[in-house]
Amino acid sequence: MKAHSGIIPDGDGSRRIIWISFGAFAMFFLLLSRLWYLQMIDTDNLLDQSENNRLRFVPVAAPRGAILDRNGKVLVSNTPSFSVAVIPKDVKDREQLVSSLARLLKLDPKEIQDKWNKGQGRAKYYPLVVASNISRDQMEYLEENRLSLSGVNIEMKPVRAYPNGELASHLLGYLGEVSEEELGNERYKDYNAGDYTGKSGIEKSWETFLHGTDGGRQIEVDARGRFLRTVEETASTVGNSVMLTIDLDMQKIAEQAFGDKAGAAVAIDVNTGEVLAFASNPGFDPALFTGRLPPDKWKEYLEDKRHPLENKALKGMYPPGSTFKIITAIAGIEEGLIDAHSSVDCPGYYKFGNATFKCWDKKGHGHVELRKALRESCDVYFYKLAERLGVNRIAAYAKKFGLGAPMGIGLDNEKGGVIPTEEWKRKRFGTKWFSGETLSVGIGQGYVLATPVQLASMIATVANDGVIYQPHLVKRIVDLDGKPIKEFPAQQVGRANIKPSTFKLIKEGLFAVVNEPHGTGGMARLAEVKVAGKTGSSQVVKMRDSKGEVPYQFRDHALFVAFAPLEKPEIAVAVIVEHGEHGGSAAAPIAGKLLRAYFEGKGVIKKPVSKQEAKGEQAGDAGNSGTTPAAEEETE
């Protein structure tokens, strides 16, 4: 092999490469000398700086946005809460610190120890919360004893405050620590372990708006980990507020009206789809879920037969009972099977094959036309109509009114209810449809299930002559200064194509329910405003005539759907009282109170001067006035 002297035309290249190599070497030598200086000579000083006079990063949680009612009244806001954190690296004597913290905070040392162990995996320089939600007194007491507590930090962070207690707890939802699973999700990429996030209700669905942006502080601490000064601070940005369509006053009245009964009430603005009240009773205390939930409280919630943790308005699926007769009647008229004057004779039962379907009134209703059938909720009339319609035609009309599918109200896990068809049954149970089942469907029993939200939207659609607005809970998003960021206007999502004359007939019938003698819904009557509605009682279990008191969980559900005013409807409500037995006596009064509250708010009805409960002087006799009839095959 020949030797390679660079053959570069100008001849000096080779020499210059050597010079350049020298230059490169010199530069590297310079770098190395500097490294020598830093790492071999000045190292003690710099090591000292890195160990003792250290900076710490303290995340600063952004205050969450508030949740407001439609008039800007506060439903959920924030309040400062103090927690105690340790920085494990700065702790000299762990045993001793735990025992003094336990003494100062009057906590069980084991509890502090447990929290400490749980956070063991994380970096030693990150603050680890060992006690949260301490009182202001405890905080001050700790602050005084600061000198003996090295490595302890007191952190202030905003927590949720619920000025109205349990009010609208299901709707608002609660917060919880972001879970391990959520942390791996793209949506939570800016969250750290220990951060709070909405776990249900509005808090969850509107998390992105409410959360805000966390900030952070670089603080300098001394050799014992005590705070010296703030070096750099990135401010947190407060989350935006969510203004609901809910009216605080109506919400209160709705929840109070239930007393200790379980159930749900939904009120909708007929002309916009805005939900004015969204009550599920009983409620729970959302504040309990943010801190440590006392085990006894948890047990109490779980053992309560009324299921306080369940959002009944959204997820409760109930047989709509006689409120469903509205759909059956509309189907009958539209299909040309009945008109205002078609009549049926009700002897109190209907023989179908070798089964007997009873009317809720054993005495029978005699000669029944549509108006009377609705007013007095005659079952036999609707058995016969349902038989002629067949289940598929009934289902088609029910679906036109939004039943059988979630409404998309904007909360997680909304239920869709069930509207059965022959095909549905084949798929679900693999068995064929029996025509007797159609009769049950005609009066809203059997497989039919609907949520309170769906029923409210259904009656609002009737009030609206078929126009369906998207029921929604959020009116707008506003920033800290109250400036609107996003508006959610009324949105028409569909139209039930039904003849206006059909709606007219139905509305007359529904008006009769509330306002005529023998009407089942007299307890929802208002003197100043024309209310139209329909009662319902839906069977929970099939029972043969049983004797004596029926156990709570087997009693019928009481339902009532209504709208008002008759001519120019503004508001629609749906009320369900679980195991309330009779729609007319248990649910209608609640609807009446809600409607009254609405019209009082509008100034249409004058508020009573004395706090005298406006007692309906009527009680539209019918079978609802108190005598407990034995549970029927099918009830009113």
Element (H, E) at 468: strand 467-469
Indicate which single residue of 78, 115, 119, 125 sits in contact with another protein (rule: CB under 8 A): 125
Q: Which of 137, 181, 186, 545 binds another protein (CB under 8 A)?
A: 186
- Say if CB 115 and CB 88 are below 8 A apart: no
**Binding segment (CB under 8 A) for another protein, from list 18-26, 377-385, 457-465, 503-511:** 18-26
Closer CB to another protein, residue 52 or residue 413?
Answer: 52
> Does 43 engage in binding with another protein (CB under 8 A)?
yes
CA distances from 281 to 12, 160, 166, 349, 590 (A): 95, 22, 10, 36, 12
Strand partners, 467: 495
Measured from the CB atom, the residue of 55 and 467 that comes closer to another protein is 55
Our finding on whether 8 is near another protein (CB under 8 A) is: yes
Contact status: 179 vs another protein (CB under 8 A): no
| Window contacting another protein (CB under 8 A); options: 31-39, 301-309, 368-376, 401-409 | 31-39
Q: Is 47 in the site for another protein (CB under 8 A)?
A: yes
- CA distances, 472 to each of 198, 200, 266, 609 (Å): 19, 16, 11, 34
We find the least distance from the C-beta atom of residue 210 to another protein, in angstroms, to be 22
- Show the binding pattern over residues 196-225: x = contacts another protein (CB under 8 A), - = does not: ----------------------x-------
- What's the min distance (Å) between Cβ of 290 and another protein? 23
Burial of 170 (0-12, 13-18, 19+ CB in 10 A): buried
Stretch that binds another protein, among 39-47, 140-148, 500-508, 539-547 (CB under 8 A): 39-47
Q: State the nearest-atom distance from the C-beta of 56 to another protein, in Å.
A: 8
Gap between the Cα atoms of 487 and 480, Å rounded: 16
Tokens matching residue 557: 């559900």
- How many residues bind another protein (CB under 8 A)? The answer is 48
Q: How far apart are CA 284 and CA 334, in angstroms?
A: 45
Shortest spacing between CB 126 and another protein, in angstroms: 9
Using alpha carbons, select from 583, 67, 488 the residue that is nearest to residue 573: 583
Asked if residue 121 binds another protein (CB under 8 A), the reply is no
Closest Cα partner for 552 from 198, 318, 287, 304? Answer: 304
User: Is 228 a residue that touches another protein (CB under 8 A)?
Assistant: no
Closest CA to 213 of 229, 189, 230: 189
Q: Compute the distance between CA of residue 319 and CA of residue 403 in angstroms, rounded to an integer.
A: 12
Residue 54 engages another protein in binding (rule: CB under 8 A): yes
Reduced to 3 DSSP states, what percent helix, strand and coil does the chain have, rounded to the nearest 5?
A: 35, 20, 40
Please name the amino acid found at residue 542: K
| Integer Cα distance of 467 and 488 in angstroms | 18
Contact 432, 424 (CB under 8 A): no
Closest to another protein by CB, 1 or 527: 1
Bridge partners, 85 (sequence order): 129, 153
Q: What is the DSSP string of 233-278?
A: EE--BPPPEEEES--HHHHHHHHHHHTT--EEEEEEETTT-BEEEE
Q: What does the block give as tokens for 180?
A: 């391990």
Quick one: which of 12, 143, 339, 423 contacts another protein (CB under 8 A)?
Answer: 12
| Bridge partners of residue 175, in order along the sequence | 198
Q: Of these residues, 81, 83, 322, 585, which one is catalytic?
A: 322
Min CB(81)–another protein separation in Å: 24
**Nearest to another protein of 28, 298 (CB atom):** 28
- Residues in CB range of 630: below 8 A, 6 or more apart: 545, 546, 547
User: Does residue 24 bind another protein (CB under 8 A)?
Assistant: yes
**485 binds another protein, rule: CB under 8 A:** no
Which one, 42 or 222, has the nearer CB to another protein? 42
Structure tokens belonging to residue 374: 């609705």
Q: Which is nearer to another protein, 17 or 355 (CB)?
A: 17
Task: Give yes or no for residue 32 binding another protein (CB under 8 A).
Answer: yes
Shortest spacing between CB 44 and another protein, in angstroms? 8
SS3 of 357, please? strand
- Does 235 engage in binding with another protein (CB under 8 A)? no
Among 25, 298, 429, 552, binds another protein (CB under 8 A): 25
60 binds another protein (CB under 8 A): no
Asked if 106 touches another protein (CB under 8 A), the answer is no
Active site (annotated) includes residue 322:
yes
Q: Does 52 bind another protein (CB under 8 A)?
A: no
Determine if 6 is a binding residue for another protein (CB under 8 A): yes
Q: Are 456 and 571 in contact (CB under 8 A)?
A: no
Active-site positions read 322
Interacting residue ranges for another protein, rule: CB under 8 A: 4, 6-10, 12-14, 16-17, 20-21, 24-25, 27-28, 30-32, 34-36, 38-40, 42-43, 45-47, 49-51, 54-57, 123, 125, 183-184, 186, 189, 192, 218, 231-232
